Amino acid sequence: MSARGEGWGLRAGVIVVLGVGVIGPIAAGLAQTARAAFGVMPAIGATEPGFAAFAALFAVPGLGSAVRLTLVTGLGATALSVIVALGALPALHGRLSRGRAARWLTPFLATPHAALAIGLAFVLAPSGWIARAVAPFAGFDRPPDIALVGDPWGIALILGLMVKEVPFLLLVGLAALTQIPLTRHLATARALGYPPAAAWLKVVAPQLWPMLRLPVMVVMAYALSTVDMALILGPSTPPVLAVLLARAFFAPDTAMLLPASAGALLQGALVAGALGALWLIERVLARLGRAWLRRGGRGHGIDGLFALGRFVALVLAAIGGLAILALLAWSFAWRWPWPAPLPESWSLRAWIGAGPGLARAAGQTLAIALSTTVLSLALAVAWLEGEDRARLGRAGWAEALVYLPLLVPQIAFLYGLNVLFLRLGLTGGVAAVIWAQALFVFPYVMIALSDPWRALDPALIRAAAALGAGPWRRLVAIKLPVLIAPLLTAAAIGLAVSVAQYLPTLFMGAGRIATLTTEAVTLASASDRRVTGVYATLQAGMPLAAFAAAFVIPAVLHRNRRALRGGGV
C-alpha cells in the first residue's frame, strides 16, 4: 500500500476510534440523561415519559439561587480571567522569553484544580496565612470570624478559578503571539501616534482573539460546571448547580435521579447559552471596537488598565504560590498555634499515618494516569502521522472533534454514560475510569502535540526519504526522536489532566475507585488539615514531577545536540 493510502487508512482508523470512543459515548450519555430527564429510566421503574422530573427539579429548594450562583461564578471567573490575562500578556511577553514564561506558569498549570483549591482554602481560612499575617496589626487574638472560604457570593470560588485559568490563558496567548508580527505592528501603531496599551488593544488583541476563542470557551464551560473546586471553595447552601446535581446523583434516594438528570440537561443548556452569549458579545465588541477605531482616538488613559491587569496577575500568582506552599506546610506541620506564621514543630506523622491508604490511592492514580496518557499519546501520534502520510491539513470539523469533550459539561453526559454501562453490565472497573478520563486527556495531548509536530522541519523528512527510509522508519528514527521534548511535554500535560479528574473517576468508578483526587476532595470537607495536606501535596506533586521529567529527560538525552535543546514546555 502507498504511504498516502496508508495515511488515509491510519486517519480513518483514528476517526473510527474517536467516533466509537469519544463522540459515540458523549452522544449516548447525553441521550440517556435526556431520557431520564423526561421520565424514562427502567432501572428504577420509571417508564412513563413526561415533564415530572423537570417539575421536581424546579421544586428543589434553592435551585434558583444555585443557577444564579453558577452564572455569577462561572461567567465572572471567565470574564475576569480573560481581562487579566489580556492585561498581563504584554508585560509577560516583553519581559520573559517564551520558554522562561512557560516554566514560571508550569506549576500553576500542573497543580490539579482540587489541590489548588484545598491550598487556597488553607490560605483564605480564618486561621490561614492571610489572617495570620494581619493578626498582629488587626489585633486578632484568635482566628477572626470571617468566612472567606465558601462565602455565599462565591468570591473564593471565582478566585480559585482565576488562579487556575489565568496561567492557562497566558500560556495559550504567548503561543498565539508568535503567529503575529508583533514588533512591526506595534512599531507601526506607535509611529501613528498610539501609546503601547492602545496599540495592543486596537492592533494586537483583535488578531489574538481568533486564536484564544476556543481556549476561552473551554475555560467558560469548565468554570460553569466544575464540581471539585466548587465543593471545596464554593458555598454549600445552596451550592452551584453542578454540586447540587452531583449530590442528587449520589443521594441514597433513587427518586432523585430523574430530577438530577433534568438538572444535568439544564447544566448543558446553561453552558450552551453561555457559549451563545460569548458569540454574541464577540460580535457586539467587534462592532463597537471598529467604531472606536474609526474615531481615531489615541487612547491615552488606558495604560493604567494594563498596569492593573499586570498587578492582579501578580497577586493571583502570589496567592497560587502560597496555596501550593500551604499544602506542603500543613502536610508536615505538627503543632501550629495561632498566630505563628509557620508551624512550631514539624512531623512526618501525617504522612506515615496516611500510609497504606495513601499508597493505594497513589498507585491507583499513577496506574490510571499512565494508561490514559499512553493511550491518548498513541492516538494523537496516529492522528498526526495519518495527516502527514495522507498529506492532509486539519479540517475544521476535526478541530471541533478534538475540543468537543472539553466543551460539553461532564455532568451532562457522565451519569447517562454510567447508566448505559450498567445496562451493558460493565460496572465500575478501572478500565471504565481509564476510558472516561481519556475522553478529557486526549484533547489536551492532541492540542499540545499538534503545533510542534507540524513545525518539524520537512527537509529532515525529505532527506530521510531520499536516503531510502520508508514512512515507518521516518516516524521511528526521525520524527519521534526529534520530537521527544514536545512528546514528553504532551505526556506530562496528559498525566496532569488525568490526575486532576474528579467526576469521571467518581461516576465511572461507581465510587469504588479511590484516586488521590477523589480522596483529597472527600477529606477537604471534613477532617484533619494535615491528612488533607498530605493527599493534596502528593496529588500536586505527581504532575509536577512529570513536568520536571519532561524538562530534564530531553535535556540529558540531547546534551550534545544543540539544535534540539529547546526551551522545554
Residues that bind other proteins (CB under 8 A): 181, 184-185, 187-196, 199, 202-203, 206-207, 290, 293-298
Tell me the three state secondary structure of residue 346.
strand
C-alpha cell at 24: 459515540
**Measured from the CB atom, is 164 or 202 closer to other proteins?**
202
**CA distances from residue 167 to 106, 259, 427 in whole angstroms, order as listed:** 8, 37, 37
**Measured from the CB atom, is 68 or 98 closer to other proteins?**
98
Q: How far is the CB of 284 from other proteins (least distance, A)?
A: 17
**Measured from the CB atom, is 151 or 303 closer to other proteins?**
303
The C-alpha atoms of residue 202 and residue 467 are separated, in whole angstroms, by: 50
Q: How far is the CB of 124 from other proteins (least distance, A)?
A: 39
**Measured from the CB atom, is 90 or 568 closer to other proteins?**
90
Q: How far is the CB of 93 from other proteins (least distance, A)?
A: 14
Closest-CA residue to 371 (of 432, 450, 453, 449): 432
Q: How far is the CB of 213 from other proteins (least distance, A)?
A: 14
Whether residue 52 contacts residue 37, with contact meaning beta carbons closer than 8 Å, is answered with no
- Estimate to the nearest angstrom the gap between the alpha carbon of 316 and the chain centroid: 17
Whether residue 158 contacts residue 151, with contact meaning beta carbons closer than 8 Å, is answered with no
CA angle 202-204-206, nearest 5°?
70
Q: How far is the CB of 558 from other proteins (least distance, A)?
A: 29
Please measure the distance between the N-terminal and C-terminal CA atoms of the chain and give it in whole angstroms: 37
Whether residue 156 contacts residue 120, with contact meaning beta carbons closer than 8 Å, is answered with yes
Q: How far is the CB of 280 from other proteins (least distance, A)?
A: 20
> Other C-beta atoms within 10 Å of 207: how many?
15
**Measured from the CB atom, is 187 or 251 closer to other proteins?**
187
**Measured from the CB atom, is 192 or 251 closer to other proteins?**
192
Closest-CA residue to 382 (of 3, 5, 7): 7
Closest-CA residue to 69 (of 190, 209, 295, 234): 234
Q: How far is the CB of 237 from other proteins (least distance, A)?
A: 48
Q: How far is the CB of 312 from other proteins (least distance, A)?
A: 25
Q: How far is the CB of 207 from other proteins (least distance, A)?
A: 5
**Measured from the CB atom, is 85 or 189 closer to other proteins?**
189
DSSP bridge partners of 333: 346
Closest-CA residue to 250 (of 114, 418, 70, 499): 418
DSSP string, 374-401: HHHHHHHHHHHHHHHHTT----HHHHHH
Q: Where is 224: in which H helix or E strand? A: helix 205-225
Q: How far is the CB of 298 from other proteins (least distance, A)?
A: 6
The C-alpha atoms of residue 406 and residue 30 are separated, in whole angstroms, by: 14
The residue with cell 506542603 is 328
The C-alpha atoms of residue 144 and residue 64 are separated, in whole angstroms, by: 31
Whether residue 109 contacts residue 190, with contact meaning beta carbons closer than 8 Å, is answered with no
**Measured from the CB atom, is 199 or 232 closer to other proteins?**
199
Residues 6+ apart with CB under 8 A from 81: 161, 162, 165, 166, 169, 219, 223
Q: How far is the CB of 182 from other proteins (least distance, A)?
A: 11
C-alpha cell at 296: 481615531
Q: How far is the CB of 208 from other proteins (least distance, A)?
A: 10
Q: How far is the CB of 300 from other proteins (least distance, A)?
A: 9
Counting DSSP H helices and E strands in the chain, the numbers are 26, 0
**Measured from the CB atom, is 300 or 423 closer to other proteins?**
300
- Estimate to the nearest angstrom the gap between the alpha carbon of 369 and the chain centroid: 15
The residue with cell 493510502 is 5
Whether residue 40 contacts residue 416, with contact meaning beta carbons closer than 8 Å, is answered with no
**Measured from the CB atom, is 101 or 375 closer to other proteins?**
101
Q: How far is the CB of 482 from other proteins (least distance, A)?
A: 32
**Measured from the CB atom, is 185 or 558 closer to other proteins?**
185
**Measured from the CB atom, is 213 or 290 closer to other proteins?**
290
> Other C-beta atoms within 10 Å of 346: how many?
14
**Measured from the CB atom, is 184 or 562 closer to other proteins?**
184
**Measured from the CB atom, is 94 or 136 closer to other proteins?**
94
The C-alpha atoms of residue 549 and residue 554 are separated, in whole angstroms, by: 9
Q: What's the helix, strand, coil split of the chain in %, to 5?
A: 80, 0, 20
**Measured from the CB atom, is 201 or 402 closer to other proteins?**
201
Whether residue 125 contacts residue 146, with contact meaning beta carbons closer than 8 Å, is answered with no
> Other C-beta atoms within 10 Å of 451: how many?
12
